[in-house]
Amino acid sequence: MRPYRSKQMRGSFKRAFRESPSQKEFIMIHKTKITQNFTIVPNDVIKDSSLSIGARMLYTLILSFPKEWNLNIAHLAKLLNISENTARKYRNELVNANIITFKQELDSQGKFTHNFSYSCQNLEIENIQEIQEHSQSYPFNKKPVCGKNEDIINNNIINNKDYSKRLLFVVMESFRQFSDTKKPKSQKLTQDEMLSHLNTQEKQAYYDFISYRKEKGFVAKSTMISITKDFLSLKNVGADLRECVDLCINRGWSGIMCAHKSLTRKLHYPTYAKPKQNDALANLEL
């Protein structure tokens, strides 16, 4: 039978067996000397707490390739088991930290291409051995090459500012697989620019309709833009904005287009007044 122990006794046992600072274990690191198939990464980058672990891993992965290697965001994201957007986020994090830079290349005619050159600012090269002639791993034009690359001994990278040669990585052109170029933003008209197409009476009708909508409830920014576009569309077709606004307010409608459809329907299908009952009886007597 388990002996009974009070809370005070149990606490004393825990304090007795608690590990004292002198009894803590220290971790001993044994490093094996590697002569090939390794990469040197600066400790300043590895121990930089301002960088995320993903950005440090992407930086290490980029350094593991030789400078002749063709890289693209899709291939780096696949190796890191992350999405392309996440890979670009880590890339931008390294760029903001001034660890790497990249620029878009120009062709012979001075036009921008889909190729980008990456430069690692903190690393400079003394003598990198070229790929041996009997190596079976060659960079392709369309897809990146995978492999351990055991024929290259990447042990000549040093952190010395006396050397001016930098490590460049050329990103290949991969059409849809690599869409790193930013598309120019479409020029969108502001609210004031759109209202400039309305005259004074139409603007007053617009402001009256906005006040009416705000009395009914909250009007979001996207709703304001949608209402402005509806007013411009009605103006282009020659509609009477003042009449449409008055009809919306009288009937409690929220959309200006509903009023325009109702007015258009009346024009195409006019209503006729029914004859009075006395007139109908008079016609029968005759």
- CATH number for the domain spanning 136: value is 1.10.10.10
pLDDT tens digit string along 141-184? 444 444 444 444 444 444 444 433 344 444 444 333 444 545 55
Close Cβ partners of 231 (under 8 Å, ≥ 6 residues apart) = 198, 202, 206, 209, 241, 256
Q: Using the Cα atoms of residue 217, residue 220, residue 225 and residue 226 in order, give the sign of their dihedral.
A: negative
Same domain, yes or no, for 205 and 169?
A: no
DSSP state at residue 71: B
> So what's the pLDDT on residue 82?
92
Surface-to-core class of residue 79, CB atoms within 10 Å of its CB (0-12 exposed, 13-18 middle, 19+ buried): middle
What is the rounded CA–CA span in Å between residue 49 and residue 56?
Answer: 10
Q: Is residue 149 domain-shared with residue 81, that is, in the same domain?
A: yes
Quick one: pLDDT at residue 66? 76
DSSP 142: S
Range of the domain at 55: 43-177
Do 172 and 58 share a domain, yes or no?
Answer: yes
Report pLDDT digits (tens) over 59-81: 888 888 877 666 678 888 889 99
pLDDT category, 188, cuts 50, 70, 90? low
Q: List the single range of 51-60, 92-101, 167-176 with lowest mean pLDDT.
A: 167-176
Same domain, 138 and 261: no
What pTM did the predictor assign?
A: 0.36
199 occurs within a structural domain: yes
Pair 114, 219 in one domain: no
Residue 128 burial (CB count, 10 A): 17
In contact, 73 and 83? CB cutoff 8 Å? no
Q: In this predicted structure, what is the pLDDT of residue 102? A: 73
Cβ distance 178 to 73 under 8 Å? yes
Tell me how far apart the alpha carbons of residues 106 and 89 are, in angstroms, rounded to a whole number.
25
Is residue 279 a part of any domain in this protein? no
Do 66 and 148 reside in the same domain of the chain? yes
Domain count, the chain: 2
Q: Closest Cα to residue 43, out of 98, 128, 126, 122?
A: 122
Res. 54: pLDDT tops 60: yes
CA angle 87, 39, 140 (to 5 degrees): 60
Residues 163, 198, single domain; the answer is: no
| Mean model confidence pLDDT for the chain | 69
Residues 205, 156 share a domain: no
Same domain membership, residue 172 and residue 99: yes
Angle at CA of residue 57, ends 52 and 61, nearest 5°: 150
In a domain, 209, yes or no: yes
Q: How far apart are CA 207 and CA 198, in angstroms?
A: 12
- Kindly report which listed range (29-43, 69-83, 230-244) carries the lowest average pLDDT score: 29-43
- Residue 161 within any structural domain of the chain: yes
- Helix boundaries (H) for the chain: 7-17, 43-46, 53-63, 73-80, 84-96, 191-195, 200-216, 221-236, 241-251, 256-268, 277-285
pLDDT at 83: 92
Structure confidence by residue, pLDDT tens digits, 119-144: 776 444 433 344 334 334 444 444 44
More confident residue, 20 or 247: 247
Q: Give the pLDDT confidence score for residue 32 in this predicted structure.
A: 73
Domain assignment present for residue 247? The answer is yes
Per-residue model confidence (pLDDT) at position 68: 65
Please check whether residues 198 and 167 belong to one and the same domain. Answer: no
Residue 182 belongs to a domain: no
Which range has the worst mean pLDDT, 32-41, 247-256, 274-283? 274-283
Q: What is the pLDDT of residues 193-216, one digit of tens each?
A: 788 888 988 999 999 999 999 888
Residue 185 inside a domain? The answer is no
